[in-house]
Chain A
Amino acid sequence: MQKRLVLDQQQIAITLKRFCYQLIENHDDFENTVLLGLQPRGPILLDKVVALLEEISGIKVPSGYLDATFHRDDFRRRDFPLKANETKIDFLVEGKKVILIDDVLYKGRSVRAAMDAMIAFGRPAKVELMVLVDRRLTRDYPIMPDYFGTKVNTLDSQHVVVEWADQDHAEDAIWITEKVKS
């Protein structure tokens, strides 16, 4: 299968570090800020950002996992419903600055559903979006990331795959691959 490397281990490490410094610049001491990883893959990136932020600034920012399966707009439009993942948020987002974190931004529909799901935990003061990869010119909804690792041009026939060394891969890497035709 054809695949093209987007970011390698070293570039991803630099990107994560850059994310942390950008967050510190914009959110100072994180007094009123919370981070939410969007299931299923956002939490992996979230945990890394939270750990690195603590290492750099000494602050453990409150974080949680948000699943938007029940808020998706394709229910009954797919052959069968998607399996839900765990939502784990032990705080309210009322009046907070929320940073939603996911690995890849594609159509923008998951982020829309996630914002809908998030509101069940209160009315946030501000919402920002952080993604590792922004797939340019593919959006169905007017959604833009506030923090991104890289922007790539892709076709609908392609996947963007994020591999993590601690998730049974050789090393951290981001690839563009061709979808397997069924």
Chain B
Amino acid sequence: MSQLSTRHLLGIKDVTETDIRLILETAANFKEVINRPIKKVPSLRDITIANIFFENSTRTRLSFELAEKRLSADVVNFSSANSSVKKGETLVDTVNNILAMKVDMVVMRHASPGAPHFLSRNISANIVNAGDGTHEHPTQALLDAFSMTEKLGDLAGKKIAIIGDILHSRVALSNIFCLQKLGAEVMVCGPITLLPKYISSLGVKVELDVMKALEWCDVANVLRIQLERQQIKYFPSLREYSLYYGINKKMLQSLNKEIVVMHPGPINRGVELSSDAADSEHSIILNQVENGVAVRMAVLYLLAGVKG
């Protein structure tokens, strides 16, 4: 089967294991494409995509834009900072105005959880969620799974630890759904104040000691401390966080085993991950960035390919 079960990619929670595997297989084909001397294919040449970002983004927006351009789509970019949103326009009105200009797909990032779900009930274009508040970031989870698969093969039975600010992380939630659907065991690790109260109800292990988490896992997916989302103090200081939860190369070497270190970026070097760990042979952080373009090409290709 080469068709997704959904018209939109709103979250990993809404897609099936078959969908995920189809996206990852298609991404492998696109990874080969983006390593050719000419990195462009004409598949989406009659499609216009709007990248609508109501929240800051560097990597995700660039990655989506590159993916769209390498598929030959026409691209329009919108960021809320200098738009009519500031004048009081509603989300549906803003998007409908963009769609009136004959846009076929919308890639959206929004600070409110559920914003793309709301939009999908009100507009006809395909929607890809590029991050909605602290809820989901599906393409990040897919590119993480793709990068892990490249390194470790099938993820069934593999042990993945997600370490850091789980409470404010959309990457954590999407990763948990994605990895569990692919049969991996998932652990979350962080200070108790940064772990959601009912996280264990998702079927994940919970660990407070970062060294124990590292000893247990095949892959450590380290997350950024999201200070911009923290309304109150969740730990005394960054220095103290780094002391108890920061990962450095010495810790990785003391494990005496193969371990893969990942980070969705941007890295706070010296806080959750030291420079020597981020740049070590264990790290696949730059592979994640490269794979991001291939995975997003696969998502856009598969969503756009259904006869409209």
Contact = CB atoms under 8 A, between A and B. Distances in A.
Contact of B305 (A81, A117, A120, A122): A81
A83 B71 CA distance: 16
A84 B29 contact: yes
B41 A80 contact: no
A81 B41 contact: no
B101 interface: no
Contacts of B26: 83-84
Q: State the main secondary structure of chain B at its contact with A.
A: loop
Contact of B306 (A69, A79, A83, A92): A79
A119 interface: yes
Given A80-B3, A80-B306, A81-B302, A87 B32 contact: yes
A127 to B, nearest CB: 16
Nearest to A88: B32
B305 A75 contact: yes
B46 A81 contact: no
A80 B1 CA distance: 9
Interface residues of B, number: 28
Chain A interface size range: 20 to 34
B307 A116 contact: no
A69 B38 contact: no
Contacts of A121: 36-38
A70 B301 contact: yes
Nearest to B308: A76
A8 interface: no
Tell which of B26, B44, B305 has the most Cβ of chain A within 10 Å: B305
Contacts of B122: none
A171 B46 CA distance: 45
A134 interface: no
Contacts of A77: 307
Nearest to A83: B2
Nearest to B298: A84
B153 interface: no
Given A71-B42, A116-B42, A76 B32 contact: no
A78 interface: yes
B268 interface: no
Given A80-B2, A81-B302, A119-B38, A86 B29 contact: yes
A119 B40 CA distance: 11
B301 A81 contact: yes
Interface string B20-33: 00100110011011
B307 A80 contact: yes
Contacts of A80: 2-3, 305-307
A71 B41 contact: yes
Contact of A122 (B29, B32, B37): B37
Interface of A: 67, 69-71, 75-87, 92, 116-117, 119-122
Q: What 6 A-B pairs have minimum CB-CB distances, sorted nearest first?
A: A81-B305, A80-B3, A70-B41, A83-B2, A120-B38, A84-B29
